[in-house]
Structure 1
Amino acid sequence: MTQKEWNDTLKKYLEGSCTPEEEEQIQAWYSKQSTDALSLPAEEKKAIEKRMWKNIRHEMTPKGSVFRWIWAAAASVVLVLGYFLWPSPSYRQEGVLVLPDGTEVHLGENASLNYDKDFNLTHRNVSLQGSAFFDVKPDKSKPFIITSGELVTEVVGTSFEIAQKHDQIEVRVVTGAVTVYNPRLKNQNKVVLSPNQKAVYHLLYKNFNQTLVETPVPLPSKESVEKKFVFENTPLKKVAETFKAVYGIEFEIDDPNMENCLVSADLENLPMFTKLELVCKSVEASYTIRETTVYLNGEGCNLN
């Protein structure tokens, strides 16, 4: 019998609809169970106890030993049924984990994720040890909140990665918006991250550095725009606007004289920073990154 079939049989027993053979299987199982199991919420426990007392009254005979056995069965199912019908609130494994709300979690090596039995009922709070990538199911009524060491990451529906190292915690965003903060530091502003941004929290200094990820990727809605990275005598200002639209990153041209510098290049299917370096070489410019903005620097160009 598979786990699902066994769960279904337990449900049928509580509903009073299982066959005599299935009842015998459950009774045999009862006799082998210990009471060391997960507890259910009070409402669930009360409902099951009500069903069990109904069975007890139906099955009661003058023989005290039979009564005691049935009561032990009732107590056993109240304590043990939660193990079979509700997912374990703690996971320690490497691979993909699908939470009750539909959120996918890709746990890194030796990572663990914990949540309680009320997850997705009254909240979506989890705690993470180690590193993981999250693809969170949208639900505006219940924000998804991850506690990882000193850091709290709060989202509604997005995809991002949390990487814990010995002296810092990194949060890197792929889609959506993510809020990161240390709840103990009341005077510290919360950091809001957009796609292709990351926050590095330094455990020693208790502060954040907000910058760009090492390898920005096109926004999901812009994945088919690689053809836009073929430029023919295109003003630098237009090129910068294309980068911004595709990657969701702010680009600024320091010197207005550079805006009309012409770019001719085929930059399809190259990493973003490789594209940027080739653009800069074509107009004798350079770039710097300050926080989450890319600045193009140069002295202009000769358009004659």
Structure 2
Amino acid sequence: MNQELLHKYFKGIATISEEEQILQWVDESPENRQAFKKERMLYDIALFTDEKQLRKEDKKARILPMLKWSARIAAVIVVAVSCGFLFRDYQYNKVAQMQTVKVPAGQRAQITLADGTRIWLNAKSTLTYASNFGRADRNVTLEGEAFFEVAKNKDIPFYVNTEKNKVRVVGTSFNVCAYKDSKEFETTLVEGIVDIYAAGKEKPIVRLEKNEFFADYDGKLKKTVLPSYDYLRWKEGLYCFDDSELSHILNRLELYYNVKITVKNKKLLSHRYTAKFKEQDGIEHILKVIQKDQNFKYSINEDKDQITIE
């Protein structure tokens, strides 16, 4: 099968007749199915780049580079969940193959969707979207944290669906933080306008305009003007906290450095901090900075994946 034709299908720009040709070829033999899955995997890996590579290439040609196989790439899991690409009668408009991008703890990734929308995914985040994304609708589902630069399309709004809420935009830059089972939902608007809906509701609960921040903390709603965009700099490898409880900071450090942190003295968790840390500083440096304010000891296991704070 022609690689260029397969890539058109992956981008969601293949014609109906081209889709018929591809799906018929896939259905002909197990070998063809394996070839299809392999090409799909290689195509998805090409969507990824780490922060340093992206900045370097942006300065040169603004082109997202094809990454080579490496241990770091292997840590970013791309899963194509089949929802019937081998379905009878080829019901193209009713069933679409779902694409799921998973970023493990301790990693970040960037992808570009078929409509030109750019998305940065933070650690331990999952993004799901249909293979025909952008044709009739633009829907993605997010578990975790992501920064979106949405391509403008007045005819087809862009929706971010999360466990608690849904965000609707046309062409906008914004951040959404909605980790599964966290009971916390946050949206920060950089440019444009967003409407936020409670899951399953048709009327928005709030509209955000430029520089506004909205949070839903287990049913407690908060809307305010954002004093700084520093905390969005996670995509640059800079971790910023503004009057944040230690419990919140430690939860984020677990994600950023792929460790499990146990605190024996629970009273420590309510103390609040304002600080900025570079990713490259490492978690031990961050803990030593926090130690200057609170008198505690910590220990790290031999594999350096578990930390205990006394």
Judge same fold: TM > 0.5, yes or no.
no
Alignment TM-score, normalising by the size of structure 1: 0.44
**The structure with more radius of gyration:** 1
TM-score (norm: length of structure 2)? 0.44
